[in-house]
Structure 1
């Protein structure tokens, strides 16, 4: 027999601790403020100790409450992930794909409708993560172009998808010469500028630098006229077509290209179908856009 408090009291505790407010916890749980307060009292009586201290008109975790929250949060996270996997299995075959938020929003999601027309029986579950966090999501495959931080075993398993072509882009009104322009860089792939300069034979001087943790923020900064951003061509196809951005120095193909990194040596079922579709679609666009 397990010695545990009622699950409803743990849900009230977790929501209150996470949101820092009984009122917000009540709204999230669709309960009244009084009902959540009663559940918190019931939990504390069951534990024989207080978990919160009064903080003005609200409450805050004390040391015992914080220790309890660390345990409950980890268990709830694990339960949520496990239940998510159960739902995925119940809904049918699925592939868990991790990629950068910008690639997901600007390329993959808009193209998924074509994949679903071909294979409506396969569901794609997406994790949109930064380059630094990609490997933490338990994905079946990671899509990335810069594998320099990956383990050697991961790089050996990587599957080539398509060329990756990068170029400096700016708003039409930003007339500063490249040698004096403000450089807009990605926090986690700042070496991209060095690679572009080496491959193109051109250079950008130190007119200043802005850095952002996501490529779509770099793009937004360029659109706002803040400087020159180095971006993969596919991600700004619309902006180039509509004249919102210009690429006066063209695009160059980076070493390696866009890659798919499976999480294990044995590919999940239907992974080859998805990889084949990615290669065909990305490759076709690369041929249309040129390099």
Structure 2
């Protein structure tokens, strides 16, 4: 037995449930390598009851059918990227025959597999490779990412960053960026160590959004003076003090000389 997920314009997203002609050689239920198919023993009856379960065990198909000369049965109106469980039970029509049951699972095609990556037919995709590089010296962070889809299919980016721990207060800020941007620098409150979360939200032309996020720990830099300034600072102060003392000394000496000269003029020459 095989289940093959497929898509076409007539049936939409569907799965073809089929099995080969009845053979005498039994086969064990299980996956076929590199095919994505689930194989099992072919049914030996012509009337079956099938149940198809989707998300949260919801019943998608529940009906009885008879196998004819066609390929099998086509299961229509499936959802993208969904795990389905197909259960089948043979309906006994001959006296003395025992009913058989069979169960298998498959995953439907994803939207990008059908329409292509970045198609507006699909839900928007979040940015990839979100990276945060911290710069404690100036309390900032460099945030970068790569486009998941062509920028022409993105309306705008919103970058939101906020604190995660209550001890750092309720801080949140955001900035809007054009679709061609792949990085920006954000300023962080640098008073204490904090855990932050940064989110990049991409909006498509229909206003639908996709988000990716990353968290990081930020510790502000403890500023220390370079050794050059540690040595030069005290030396400069000492030189300044010596210069001031020398100036004071020169001024005092000059004042003393001036007073001696004035005293000599007032006394004048003595008579002999």
Same fold judged by TM-score > 0.5?
no
Higher strand share: 2
Q: TM-score, normalised by structure 2?
A: 0.22
Larger radius of gyration: 2
Q: TM-score, normalised by structure 1?
A: 0.21
Choose between structure 1 and 2 for higher RCO, CA contacts under 8 A separated by at least 6 residues.
1
